Amino acid sequence: PLTGKRVLINAGPTREQIDPVRFISNYSTGKMGIALADAASDYGAEVVLVLGPVERHPEDPSVKVINVVSAGEMASECISAFPGCDIAILSAAVADFMPAEQYDRKLKRQGEGMILKLKPTDDIAASLGRIRTGSQLLVGFALETHDEILHASAKLKSKNLDLIVMNSLRDEGAGFGHDTNRITLIDRNNIIDKFELKSKEEAARDILDKIVALLNAEKDETK
Ligand code: CTP
């Protein structure tokens, strides 16, 4: 169903360096995004995966992997690959903040403690939402702990997405580190599809099937 389409996917965490031996990051393992890359390739797409620092990698050797470390590197790789792509799926757990200052020498332990000043990173999804064309399909993720649908719908609109994949940390077996996920899809027309707890591979196919349905709906609208 995705033959002839180019798909950009980002996945995994990012690391924001404090000094040569320390960084800020999160618990993302990249499993969901890697499952999406393998499934999209299986659906016939040409896939570029911009991947943060994780242990695993896609099984399908035809997926082109671009390894990155920081949010800044992930943003520039995604922004340069995006114009040639038909679909972008932004599953990465991009760090929201980075140290305001990076130290090139190891910080020494001294005094009572320290205050680390942080500054926001670029929002990759929002940046792609600003440069997208009408024929490109943009899909984001939302990890929520409360008022899930409300927050995910707000992200869909503010980042100019077509579809958002919502995970709730209140659901057992969903989110970081699990082999399973329980997703809710919210599309640009506010149609909401809730799925049962499934393997991340099956959840990836549910997401891609929805993307294929949105592409087909666009084709019908332009007829
Ligand atoms: N995202 C991004 N760049 C960032 C932060 C988030 O591209 N610097 C993307 C994620 O990849 C995801 C979507 O934005 O597709 C939502 O991410 P999420 O962490 O749920 O939300 P935030 O926008 O970071 O908002 P908050 O942390 O306040 O919930």
Q: How many residues does the chain have?
A: 223
For residues 89 and 7, is the Cβ–Cβ distance under 8 A? yes
Measured between alpha carbons, how far is 17 from 71 in angstroms, rounded to an integer? 10
For residue 142 and ligand 1, the question of a CB distance below 6 A is answered with yes
Strands (DSSP E) contained in the chain are 6-11, 16-19, 22-24, 46-51, 64-67, 87-90, 97-99, 118-120, 137-144, 163-168, 180-181, 183-187, 192-194, 198-199
Residue 17 predicted with pLDDT over 80: yes
| Percent of the chain surpassing pLDDT 90 | 89
- Whether 33 is in the pocket of ligand 1, judged by its Cβ within 6 Å, is no
> Which tokens in the block code for residue 81?
């690959």
pLDDT exceeds cutoff 80 at 175: no
pLDDT in tens, 138-151: 999 999 999 999 99
Ligand 1 centroid – CA 42 distance (Å): 27
Render pLDDT for 64-89 as a digit per residue (tens, 0 to 9).
Answer: 999 999 999 999 999 999 999 999 99
Asked if residues 58 and 49 have their Cβ atoms less than 8 Å apart, the reply is: yes
What's the pTM? 0.96
Distance CA(38)–CA(8), nearest Å, equals 12
Nearest-CA residue for atom 17 of ligand 1 = 142
Active site residue 10: no
Does 50 sit in the ligand 1 pocket, CB within 6 Å? no
